[in-house]
């Protein structure tokens, strides 16, 4: 298994990424170590519209906005109250990546104002099915990380591309020195044994 760690009411950002059976990213900048997928059936696991959604389901629920030339289809759902991006309107979902043209594998969500960790964690959990539950918590020098499990997410991804039962979601809340709360919230679907090893890099 290989790591594919790469999407509004508070100023924080949420990064999501998927680690699974295999995959590569459609946008440029994907990890070079991503293996060739065994296969992806995008007719399966159609209940997801956020993290883990098929590219078509994602596009049906989000509106593309300005993208940098090096990363097409990476920014979605423009909002004027969010920080601008290279002179362009801010977006809720940023740095979005679609692995193997199969899943919305990673992104960060930009929020409107700084959020306490508890509020940011709740916002991150909104990106997951309602059965998602936090199963671990780890404090690091530059971020707080939570391991999350969702049976519904696992079931959908397993049906589509054989994601394993050990699939988890990593929610990362990066902290800036001297700042109260968090400005970015990272989420990544990882293997269970990779949750505690992940560095504070999900939200760049």
Separation between Cα atoms, residue 117 and residue 173, nearest integer Å: 7
> Residue 167: what are its φ and ψ, rounded to 5°?
-65, 135
For 176, list phi and psi in degrees, rounded to 5. -95, 140
Q: Around 144, how many Cα atoms within 13 Å sit in the side-chain half-sphere?
A: 16
pLDDT digit string (tens) for 155-192?
999 999 988 999 999 888 888 877 778 877 887 778 89
> Does residue 93 have a pLDDT over 50?
yes
pTM for this model (two decimals): 0.79
Assign 38 a pLDDT band (cuts: 50, 70, 90).
low
Residues forming a β-bridge with 93 = 76, 109
Percentage of the chain modeled with pLDDT above 90: 42
* Domain ranges within the chain, ordered by starting residue: 14-194
109-118, 138-147, 169-178, range with the lowest pLDDT: 169-178
């Amino acid at each position: 298994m290989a790591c594919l760690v790469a999407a509004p009411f508070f100023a924080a950002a949420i990064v999501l990424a998927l680690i699974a059976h295999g995959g590569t990213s459609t946008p440029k900048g994907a990890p070079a170590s991503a293996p060739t997928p065994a296969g992806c059936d995008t007719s399966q696991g159609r209940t997801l519209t956020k993290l883990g959604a098929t590219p078509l389901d994602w596009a049906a629920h989000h509106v593309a906005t300005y993208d940098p030339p090096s990363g097409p289809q990476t920014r979605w759902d423009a909002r004027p109250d969010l920080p601008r991006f290279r002179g362009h309107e801010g977006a809720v979902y940023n740095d979005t990546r679609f692995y193997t043209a199969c899943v919305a594998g990673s992104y960060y969500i930009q929020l409107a104002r700084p959020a306490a960790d508890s509020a940011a964690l709740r916002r991150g959990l909104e990106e997951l099915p309602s059965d998602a539950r936090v199963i671990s918590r780890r404090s690091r020098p530059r971020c707080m990380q939570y391991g999350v499990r969702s049976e519904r997410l696992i079931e959908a991804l397993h049906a589509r591309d054989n994601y394993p039962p050990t699939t988890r979601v990593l929610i990362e809340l990066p902290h800036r020195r001297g700042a109260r709360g968090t400005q970015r919230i990272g989420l990544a679907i990882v293997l269970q044994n990779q949750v505690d090893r992940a560095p504070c890099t999900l939200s760049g």
